């Protein structure tokens, strides 16, 4: 196990009616005037917007609004939000929705106190040294941004989908988690969320760090929960047991509870960021295509770990005489699982095209520290090409 | 899953050399003058005391000292500490050691700002409404107090071993966890710690709350880790992989990570508190005697859960035709596990005597809300007697 620091000072209020605490929580964490950040109509249709604004009103907290956040959230709305946050003298950001709204709020949070272009903090030109407080009312179980120390924004000038520096400063002060609001999500979005959290755990699970028995088991506990709960939530959208398990798993999958003390990989996420940048595909759908391909490409590096994954997560029988057969069976079952959730399996199903592969590699090359990436196996341009070719078949 | 609030704003600094951050962490969390709280010579022999005071000196933080904390920490030292804390104008408590030092520091922490007798907060005469900040340098993996929201003190007048009210106010601001300091613990103390953390997880695992698949799996992941790591740590005291797993498990077992959203039991702990009050036995040793007896007494309430425990934690084979046989096999394996760690199995081995059973029940009766206790099964005086009789054989 590596040395680590774990600091997750987010208050999680989980369960039916938890959103009624929103106003009180904003006050508790020092907010007097709020900028609400949300996407489109879904938070209005599912009642979350009404419940949250009613709670703010009851606590006497005034607010302004920034709606219109899109999936793969864009820099344009961050610039707009920073201006609005300053103009309205707000002192607290409150995101209603999923990862896109939360990440937009976080970027406004550290962009507002910075004098220059907020993108400087992504490029490393400026440090992430201050962040206005962010609260969350979660309505999508997926990205885990409600508990995480990072955010991802797409800079439209340059079409760069980049992660911010990791910093405990941008962990939300509180997150209200009422699984009821996820019951009205379309099956496709539910599935994308399940893939996203599954991938967040895999990025931590596939590690070269020795002596990580405890976090290995915690990762497997979360992976099995996704495997169990996601099909139930899709078959019966109102299944609150499944929705609850998925929502809390999404948070634990990405607040680093199960990743402490381990080198982490993140190559699949890096490749998916290029797919999203090129095709604006749903992040989870992109990960459903990339993750099994990445696994096939790197499996030879640690067959024993992939065999363990097959046995402990997917219940495959161990072939002690031929562990590679077991390892391959795990990836086969993962593909079957994603497919059964209705996720795309190939670049074409994602709306992509094999001919763009060289351009995606070239685009990745423009990023500072573009190559190699990943830790379990270092991915160079040839590796990235090989993984993307495995997404074609 | 029940609604819940989870708020664990403790910064955990884990790994070799983490104690060198102590002074800096005290400053970060607002401390200017420290009261050090510790036990006897072990923190001086193992180097923790020197490393911590060197770090305080390097950060320019003055301190005073309260040594002499005993296992099953007593009220006398808390009164003394409150006086010393006030007299020295300290503003930060720093515990070096295990649960006894931490719990003493916590009780001083909420006793100092209160005008009256700190025990009023245990009896409910006064609310726990403020606590001075507490930091921890952990040298024993056991009680989990480094991340928990409670503490246990024995009031010498009345010989009452009672838990404080649970409050996020008393969670430590930071905890420094260097497993190296646990390598010099005697085998008996290592084993007591393993039993204590195992029990903290069981108190959460044995629950009547439906739809808790995720936290069930997380509990099992921790239980299996204790099962795997404790014998290795005892066989090879310097095994840092085993020591690391045990130390982080002790924290996760009791910061409520794996207990959220579930009714919890705590009957075994309540009975053990009487054993400790009567015989001043080690808490873990008392739990090793009580826990299997409690399991035998309550098993009929939910045979399926005990069968699951046997299969998922101890790797027993499920007897589908006779689940009770599997359930019993789990408890048999638990007894074998505790015995192999060198723990007592009976009241006599603990230094107790069957003839005291009526007095222990009478003593429990004097406690406000003395009976019934426990949630998985409500324990009345007859139940407590039956469980204690099961500790005799």
pLDDT tens per residue, range B213-262: 999 999 999 999 999 999 999 999 999 999 999 999 999 999 999 999 99
Taking contacts as CB-CB distances below 8 angstroms, the residues of chain A near B220 are 221
User: How confident is the model over B37-61, as a mean pLDDT?
Assistant: 96
CA distances from B353 to A234, B286, B382, B387, B388 (A): 58, 13, 18, 14, 10
> For the sheet containing B134-138, what is the strand order?
A63-66, A34-37, A92-97, A134-138, A174-177, A4-14, B4-14, B174-177, B134-138, B92-97, B34-37, B63-66
End-to-end, the C-alpha distance of chain B in Å comes to 38
Inter-chain residue contact B224 with A217, CB threshold 8 Å: yes
A176 touches chain B (CB under 8 A): no
User: Nearest chain B Cα to A225, which residue?
Assistant: B214
The proportion of chain B whose per-residue pLDDT surpasses 70, expressed as a percent, equals 100
Residue-wise pLDDT tens digits, A41-89: 899 999 999 999 999 999 999 999 999 999 999 999 999 999 999 999 9
Q: What's the distance, CA B350 to chain centroid?
A: 19
A20 touches chain B (CB under 8 A): no
Residue-wise pLDDT tens digits, B361-374: 999 999 988 999 99
Rounded CA gap, A152 and A107, in Å?
A: 9
Inter-residue contact B148 to B254 (CB < 8 Å): yes
Q: Which two tokens stand for residue B190?
A: 């290592």
* Res A369: pLDDT: 87
Q: What's the distance, CA B85 to chain centroid?
A: 25
Q: What's the distance, CA A13 to chain centroid?
A: 20
Taking contacts as CB-CB distances below 8 angstroms, the residues of chain A near B7 are 9-12
Give the three-class secondary structure for B136.
strand
Spatial CA neighbour of A263 closest among A212, A213, A207, A218: A207
Inter-residue contact A173 to A94 (CB < 8 Å): no
CA distances from B292 to B196, B216, B289, B391 (A): 13, 19, 7, 8
The model's pTM is 0.97
- Which residue out of A6, A18, A194, A197 would a mutagenesis test of the B interface target, given it has the greatest number of B Cβ atoms within 10 Å? A6
- pLDDT of residue A358 exceeding 90, the answer is yes
Among the partner-chain residues A210, A218, A229, the one whose CB lies closest to the CB of B218 is A218
User: Nearest chain A Cα to B19, which residue?
Assistant: A3
Q: How confident is the model at residue B40 (pLDDT cuts 50, 70, 90)?
A: confident
End-to-end, the C-alpha distance of chain A in Å comes to 38
DSSP class of A92? E
Q: How confident is the model at residue A158 (pLDDT cuts 50, 70, 90)?
A: confident
A291 touches chain B (CB under 8 A): no
- pLDDT of residue B179 exceeding 90, the answer is yes
Give the three-class secondary structure for B11.
strand
Average pLDDT value over all residues in chain B: 97
- pLDDT of residue B66 exceeding 90, the answer is yes
Q: What's the distance, CA A143 to chain centroid?
A: 3
* Structural domains for chain A: 11-182 (3.40.50.1970), 187-390 (1.20.1090.10)
Residue-wise pLDDT tens digits, B288-323: 999 999 999 999 999 999 999 999 999 999 999 999
Residue-wise pLDDT tens digits, A182-192: 999 999 999 99
ipTM of the complex in this document? 0.96
Inter-chain residue contact A211 with B261, CB threshold 8 Å: no
Spatial CA neighbour of B111 closest among B121, B99, B103: B121
* Res B67: pLDDT: 97
Among the partner-chain residues A9, A211, A257, the one whose CB lies closest to the CB of B257 is A257
Residue-wise pLDDT tens digits, A277-300: 999 999 999 999 999 999 999 999
Between B259 and A40, residue with greater pLDDT? B259
* Res A40: pLDDT: 86
Rounded CA gap, B262 and A163, in Å?
A: 35
Inter-residue contact A226 to A194 (CB < 8 Å): yes
User: How confident is the model over A228-256, as a mean pLDDT?
Assistant: 98
Average pLDDT value over all residues in chain A: 97
Q: DSSP string spanning A200-261?
A: HHHHHHS---S--HHHHHHHHHHHHHHHHHHHHHHHSTT-HHHHHHHHHHHHHTTSSTTTTT
Residue-wise pLDDT tens digits, B263-275: 999 999 999 999 9
Among the partner-chain residues A5, A10, A241, the one whose CB lies closest to the CB of B12 is A5
Residue-wise pLDDT tens digits, A103-134: 999 999 999 999 999 999 999 999 999 999 99
Taking contacts as CB-CB distances below 8 angstroms, the residues of chain A near B249 are 214
- pLDDT of residue B6 exceeding 90, the answer is yes
Inter-residue contact A103 to A152 (CB < 8 Å): yes
Taking contacts as CB-CB distances below 8 angstroms, the residues of chain B near A12 are 4-7
């Amino acid at each position: 196990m590596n040395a680590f620091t774990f600091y997750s000072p987010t208050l999680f209020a989980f369960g039916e009616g938890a959103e009624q605490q929103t106003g009180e929580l904003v006050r508790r964490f020092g907010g007097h005037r709020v900028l609400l950040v949300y996407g489109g109509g879904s938070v209005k249709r599912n009642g979350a917007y009404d419940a949250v604004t009613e709670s703010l009103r009851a606590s006497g907290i005034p607010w302004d609004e920034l709606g219109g956040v899109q999936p793969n959230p864009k820099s344009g709305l961050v610039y707009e939000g920073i201006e609005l946050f300053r103009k309205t003298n707000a002192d607290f950001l409150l995101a209603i929705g999923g990862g896109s709204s939360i990440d937009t709020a976080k970027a406004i949070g550290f962009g507002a106190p910075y004098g220059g272009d907020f993108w400087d903090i992504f490029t490393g030109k400026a440090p992430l040294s201050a962040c206005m407080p962010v609260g969350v009312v979660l309505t999508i179980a997926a990205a885990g941004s409600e508990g995480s120390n990072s955010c991802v924004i797409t800079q439209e000038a340059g079409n760069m989908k980049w992660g911010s520096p990791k910093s405990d400063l941008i962990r939300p002060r509180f997150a209200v988690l009422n699984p009821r609001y996820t019951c009205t999500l379309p099956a496709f979005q539910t599935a994308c969320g399940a893939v996203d959290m599954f991938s967040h755990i895999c990025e931590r699970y596939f590690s070269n760090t020795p002596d990580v028995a405890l976090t290995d088991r915690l990762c497997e506990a979360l992976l099995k929960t996704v495997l169990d709960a996601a099909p139930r939530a899709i078959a019966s959208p109102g299944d609150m047991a499944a929705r609850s398990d998925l929502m809390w798993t999404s948070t634990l999958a990405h607040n680093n509870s199960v990743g402490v003390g381990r080198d982490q990989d993140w190559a699949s996420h890096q490749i998916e960021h290029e797919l999203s940048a090129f095709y604006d595909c749903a992040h989870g759908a992109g990960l459903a295509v990339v993750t099994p391909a990445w696994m096939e490409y790197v499996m030879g590096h640690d067959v024993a770990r992939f065999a363990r994954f097959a046995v402990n997560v997917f219940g495959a029988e161990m072939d002690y005489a031929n562990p590679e057969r077991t390892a391959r069976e795990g990836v086969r079952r993962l593909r079957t699982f994603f497919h059964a959730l209705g996720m795309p399996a190939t670049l074409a199903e994602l709306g992509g095209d094999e001919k763009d592969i060289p351009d995606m590699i070239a685009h990745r090359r423009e990023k500072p520290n573009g190559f190699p990436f990943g830790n379990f196996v270092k991915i160079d341009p040839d590796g990235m090409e090989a993984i993307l070719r495995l997404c074609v078949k």
